Structure 1
Amino acid sequence: MLRTRTTPRTGTPGPKASRRLRTAFLASAVSVCLIAASAPAPSPVGIGDRLFPHLGNPGYDVTAYDLAFTYPGSNSKPLPAVTTIEARTTDWLEQFNLDYSHGKVRSVEVDDEPAEFRSAGEDLVVTPAHPLPPGIRMRITVRHDSNPVATKNQPSGWVQTQDGLAMANQADAGHRVFPSNDHPSDKAMFTIRVTTPKGYTAVANGLPVGATRRAAGTTWTYRTEHPMATELAQVSIGRSSVVRRTGPDGLPVRDVVPTKDRDRLEPWLKKTPGQIAWMQEKVGDYPFETYGLLIAEARTGFELETQTLSLFERELFTRSEFPKWYVETIMVHELAHQWFGDSVSPRTWSDLWLNEGHATWYEALYGEEKADRPMEARMKAAYRSSDSWRKAGGPPAAPKGAKPGEKLSIFRPNVYDGSALVLYALRQEIGRSAFEQLERVWVSTHQDGVADTADFERLASGIAGRDLSGFFKAWLYGEKTPPMPGHPDWRGAAAAKKTAKKTAKHAK
């Protein structure tokens, strides 16, 4: 946990002490300037992720974030913010980078000493007053603005709602809200403080640890009990109601909804405890301290599995053309992500199929068991389209990069139903019992951690009792979809079309 460090005072410093303080400050400032003058020109760096090469930063591991935002009561104004980062150095650092853009930086301190800072691309390059050796703890404090207004060249990680704000940081927008090591491989604990004017409610990831009310407004504080990736951070600010109930095993469930829609949304909200119980039967205990839905009056075009508080568009629940079974399966999709993607996070963005493929799998399985929507029919349809999905977006575990200016375009069908199809093939290959064991062991072994495709392959081979590397190579990396185990009659669209033409020719 991250706390503000305070220094006890025994009295007011006298003239000599004041001079010493001024001298120390000036010496520190001169040192910073000299280091900055000799430091290399700043440049954006990254950890080399194939899809987002400039995300993440080498040289340190973050252990905790403390985020403090002050909402001005308007979505058109930046939020004054303070981000404090606790980290451990892994290399010798004369300077280091944070992922941050889309907001003005006012000051940076490293271990309570002023540090030089400059922008480079979407990085903030920091030069501490003194070089930092490997293996030590450091505290970085950045005073900045968090801008909810998108520009022509850069969207914000904030989503503007009818009555406030929410966050949608996936995949690479967390650093447009707060300075960070913005890659899911570096998870950390979070404390989030939000100050709002009177009449607003703020809710964030984790559990509430206090609310301080003053005449000008309220400061709401939340803290996670499990590490979290930056892309999963969530803050809701609005004229909202918080609806509470109890889930399985006493789990606190809280939903955040527009106050005017509380009664209208209740029939949907009360389904969550049963859905959690269903998921627990499939894969084991819910992995976090709380869960709930954040229903926002906003147009996003997606739902999002932000940790412990999934983001949903209001219209998903209010538009009559969406069948009841469909809405429920989407709810389960985001819930399943709490195990697959949140608790077990991807080591690289190429491992996205492990997130979306599993969430889609349990979405489809819930539809089969609760709404008579056969899994086999859905997978057969996916098989017909799989080759075209692979051609457009790459194979599931080697997806193509995003289109220019469309970073969310990595979320293509190949990582949703195309990846669920891989899991269906795997169940066909190793049998239902081994597959269900694999799912439970996967989430328990890697809880609160990060894992990749190779980890999944090794675990599956161990549980199956045989080498599955050939299976995974074909299904996860092949340009063409392999034959479906147990269904030799299944054909892709092109093969089916060719067969149909041949049949028609012989019929003449």
Structure 2
Amino acid sequence: MPLVRTPLPRARWLRSAVLVAASAGLVAAALPAPAPLGIGDPLFPHLGNPGYDVLAYTLDVAYPGDNTKPLAAVTRIDARATDDLERLNLDFTHGTVSAVTVDGLPAEYVTSGEDLVVTPVVPIDAGEEVEIAVTHTSDPTGPADTGGWVRTGDGLAMANQADAAHRVFPSNDHPADKAYFTFRITAPSELTVVANGLPEGRVDHGATTTWTYRTQHPMATELAQISIGRSTVVHRAGPHGLPVRDVVATADRERMEPWLRRTPGHLEWMEKQVGPYPFETYGVLIADADTGFELETQTLSLFERGIFTEPAYPEWYVDSVMVHELAHQWFGDSVSPRTWSDLWLNEGHASWYEALYAEETAGKSLEARMKAAYAASDGWRAAGGPPAAPEPPSPDHKISLFRPVVYDGSALVLYALRQEIGTEAFRTLERRWVAEHRDGTATTADFTALAGEVAGRDLTAFFRGWLYEAKTPAMPGHPDWRSRPVEATRTAPAARTAPKAG
């Protein structure tokens, strides 16, 4: 049979031709000045970038063994253009770029705001798949509350929510564009490296070792996790043989075991509520760091060491916070928000299952917690907006988006919904929600439409009041519940002194 050569795609062939022409000085570009772009998220207007869909990231990172020094990195992005592109923007800051290629050919680049603006040698056609490779550094220093790398007592971890992944690697840094990830991390051989997904081997080079991990499900950039430190990885089996791996400082291995061994039971409990666990593995990463929060990084939730060692935190509370982060694997990780205004779906559900677990296992009344939330709800809405229309975060403190109204204020919406449609319909809704939107993104409108379908009636007026109005509606079944005056709520002490459950 004769050999049939597959012709190069037109744009690839043109790139080669234009590269030759450009080297001879025959091509001149006339484009407007580079500018930061965004996908139109009202809370983060410059987050994400239009014109392409990321299919996969490959992060090659070299850790020098000192968490005050920049890491050398190459980030490869496989993407499909959704528009004709003369340029494409990536979210990236807090690092130095030394080279960019598009399909292996050198590309021009410039920084504009927190965007890396890339100009390939020839425009990219809509529908074309491209590979962008960025050689850069990744700086782990800076204020802890800005997110990105978290410096621990013995290395590094990551906390990228909501808009900080691009402080670590170039990306389309918005949960609306999920992708598969491969991590190749090189570190001193005496350290242990763990990342999202499952291990795919490691290669020893003597003084250093390269560890490879790969996700089996798409992931939002904000959920990426790399842990580097003097750690032990503890393995055990979860429901249906699920691989459970926990990452803990080697010195703390025995001390943390009473907490670590709870995870299989947490998984079983959550599966009874909403159905099968959605990923390939799960575990907790206990970091020697002071972040002020816990975080649901996909397949490997981040916890501060202090939440497990501080005697002031009751055992039942810590236990329920572990369930909170686990619940996010369904709500927020597998089903991700289409925009950051849909955050209430993440945090409201995680807070709901946290509270339900505390009631079932520790006798902490769900109704009492919801009544207290109702009392504070008008004040929370005044301070941060209603659950599905939150006020933008402070520009210099982006995690200020994570206010009480998106936690218990949004769990309160779910409590009201259960009161309105009944327990069985509510459970059906929850299970269908995570099954039908698994590995995808979804909106508040998607949730309210499904709720109406399950209930068999129009819930538009119900959700309008509970999600968008300044005043909290009357609670179904509890006409006697009252919300405190806004002024009283603003001056009331905080209900929790423990770290925020992410």
TM-score of the aligned structures, taking structure 2 as reference length: 0.92
Query: 1:254-269 counterparts in 2 under 5 A?
Result: 254-269=245-260
Give the length in aligned residue pairs: 473
SS of the residue 2:320 aligns to: helix
Query: 1:228-377 counterparts in 2 under 5 A?
Result: 228-377=219-368
Give the deviation of 1:403 after TM superposition.
Answer: 1.6
2:4 corresponding residue in structure 1: none
2:406 corresponding residue in structure 1: 415
Distance 1:25 1:83 in 2: 25
Give the deviation of 1:27 after TM superposition.
Answer: 2.5
SS of the residue 1:51 aligns to: coil
* One-letter identity of the residue aligned with 2:303: F
- Confirm or deny: 8 A CA contact 1:332 1:366 kept in the other structure: yes
- Confirm or deny: 8 A CA contact 2:97 2:137 kept in the other structure: yes
Distance 2:439 2:320 in 1: 25
Distance 1:55 1:404 in 2: 13
Distance 1:274 1:284 in 2: 14
* One-letter identity of the residue aligned with 2:42: R
Give the deviation of 1:24 after TM superposition.
Answer: 7.9
The correspondence for 1:116, drawn from 98, 108, 111, is: 108
1:30 corresponding residue in structure 2: 23
Distance 1:382 1:451 in 2: 26
1:385 is aligned to 2:400: no
CA gap of 1:416–1:30, structure 2 versus 1, over 3 A, is same
Distance 1:247 1:53 in 2: 41
The correspondence for 1:137, drawn from 129, 134, 140, is: 129
* One-letter identity of the residue aligned with 1:244: H
Distance 2:102 2:430 in 1: 43
1:51 is aligned to 2:43: yes
The correspondence for 2:78, drawn from 55, 67, 86, is: 86
- Confirm or deny: 8 A CA contact 1:233 1:306 kept in the other structure: yes
1:65 corresponding residue in structure 2: 57
Query: 1:417-436 counterparts in 2 under 5 A?
Result: 417-436=408-427
* One-letter identity of the residue aligned with 1:467: D
Distance 2:357 2:377 in 1: 22
RMSD: 1.7
Q: Which runs of 5+ in 2 are unaligned?
A: 1-15, 489-502
Q: Deviations over 1:130-184 (max 9, x none)?
A: 11110010000000001101169x9450000000000000000001100000000
Question: Who wins on radius of gyration, i.e. which is larger?
Answer: 1
* One-letter identity of the residue aligned with 1:256: V
Distance 1:33 1:254 in 2: 57
2:89 corresponding residue in structure 1: 97
The correspondence for 1:208, drawn from 192, 199, 205, is: 199
- Confirm or deny: 8 A CA contact 1:190 1:223 kept in the other structure: yes
1:161 is aligned to 2:152: yes
SS of the residue 1:211 aligns to: strand
1:185 corresponding residue in structure 2: 176
1:197 is aligned to 2:188: yes
Give the deviation of 1:193 after TM superposition.
Answer: 0.7
Give the deviation of 1:40 after TM superposition.
Answer: 1.6
Distance 2:406 2:196 in 1: 26
Give the deviation of 1:214 after TM superposition.
Answer: 1.1
CA gap of 1:496–1:111, structure 2 versus 1, over 3 A, is closer
Give the deviation of 1:231 after TM superposition.
Answer: 0.2
* One-letter identity of the residue aligned with 1:100: F
SS of the residue 1:338 aligns to: helix
SS of the residue 2:293 aligns to: coil
* One-letter identity of the residue aligned with 1:375: L
Distance 1:277 1:292 in 2: 14
Distance 2:387 2:274 in 1: 23
TM-score of the aligned structures, taking structure 1 as reference length: 0.91
Distance 2:278 2:486 in 1: 43
CA gap of 1:31–1:200, structure 2 versus 1, over 3 A, is farther
Give the deviation of 1:245 after TM superposition.
Answer: 0.4
1:217 corresponding residue in structure 2: 208
1:77 is aligned to 2:69: yes
* One-letter identity of the residue aligned with 1:75: N
Q: Which runs of 5+ in 1 are unaligned?
A: 1-22, 498-508
SS of the residue 1:140 aligns to: strand
CA gap of 1:495–1:171, structure 2 versus 1, over 3 A, is closer
Distance 2:362 2:259 in 1: 16
CA gap of 1:117–1:496, structure 2 versus 1, over 3 A, is closer
Q: Deviations over 1:435-456 (max 9, x none)?
A: 0000000000000000000000
The correspondence for 1:402, drawn from 386, 393, 401, is: 393
CA gap of 1:33–1:330, structure 2 versus 1, over 3 A, is farther
- Confirm or deny: 8 A CA contact 1:32 1:129 kept in the other structure: no
Distance 1:183 1:55 in 2: 6
- Confirm or deny: 8 A CA contact 1:283 1:443 kept in the other structure: yes
1:506 corresponding residue in structure 2: none
